Amino acid sequence: MAERSIFRIKLQKYVSHPLQGLAAYCAYGLFRILPLDAASGLGGAMARMIGPRLGQSKKARNNLIRAFPEKSAAEIEMIMRDMWENLGRSAAEIPHVRNIACPGPHLEIVGLEHGMALKEDGKAGIFFTGHLANWEISMLIARILDLPMMAVYRAPDNPWVDQLFVKARKAFKGEMVPKGAPGARKMTAFLRKGGHIAMLVDQKMSNGIAVPFFGRDAMTAPALAQFAIKYDCPVVPVRVERIKGTQFRMTIEPPLVLPQTENRHDDILTIMTMVNQRLENWIRERPAQWLWLHKRWPN
């Protein structure tokens, strides 16, 4: 058994990972040489055609049925197909994100004053969003505010693909830190010095806390609430919407009104409930723009 395991590891390291990396670099190169609108349209069309046939669609369909029991089977299928198109567009747009003007013909900014208030208050701050529209667009907030930030990301298992994502995220004004204990320590030190962090907070964390999300408990990472309480941080929701094609709107909302009681456990739960509720509201308005492929809820 040990020999088989070693063989699989070597096969992955020296064969499958390089091949996957080559395919990713080829796709990145193709979409990069195409104009933004053409790349986005091609990526969306390909994903809309192929995505619904993949096994992952079963997970998305089940999530949608449970989240929207009032919707018909036809409506669920349409949302799922639109989700795949949005995902394909987002992937094809990645090489172009760094060149998007902020604001500009492809990006409208709403609520800039709320972001500037955090920049000027002399305190640490937290911006949060989810996997909505093209979430790579949300990384532009550091450039929009001219404010160096730190953001955590889940590094792909394939190091070749990870290098490609690092290259693509050069538009981010600050430091990207991989998810895990070292990254958490970096973010803690950064906040302690009055820094600002950006967080994607809609993924499952198996050892997180149970927080309502679409009427069911979802295991949720409590780090945002823990940071906010410990460092007295304003917490600002940042919503990205795909308005049409490659036209986006980023809305920087007012800071959440956080509880201030002597019960830290209850405050953490209250804050994360507020965060999940904000995410849910956004998703309900544009359900096809969220990544329903997450294993967000326990069976």
Q: What is the pTM of this model?
A: 0.90
Q: What is the mean pLDDT of the chain?
A: 89
Cα-Cα-Cα-Cα torsion 253, 92, 152, 251, nearest 10 degrees, comes to: 0
Q: pLDDT at position 294, please?
A: 85
pLDDT at position 150 over 60? yes
Six-digit token string for 242: 């795909």
Band the pLDDT of 260: cuts 50, 70, 90: confident
Task: Decide: helix, strand or coil at residue 286.
Answer: coil
- pLDDT tens-digit map of 65-124: 999 999 999 999 999 999 999 999 999 999 999 899 888 999 999 999 999 999 888 899
| Section 265-293 average pLDDT | 97
Question: Are the CB atoms for 198 and 102 separated by under 8 Å?
Answer: no
Structural domain boundaries in the chain: 2-97, 107-289
Using the structure block, give the residue that is written with the tokens 């895990």.
180
- CA–CA separation, 234 vs 125, rounded Å? 5
Average pLDDT over residues 215-237: 94
Q: Which of the residue ranges 157-166, 177-186, 243-252 would you say has the lowest mean pLDDT?
A: 157-166
- In this predicted structure, the answer to whether residue 14 has a pLDDT above a threshold of 60 is no
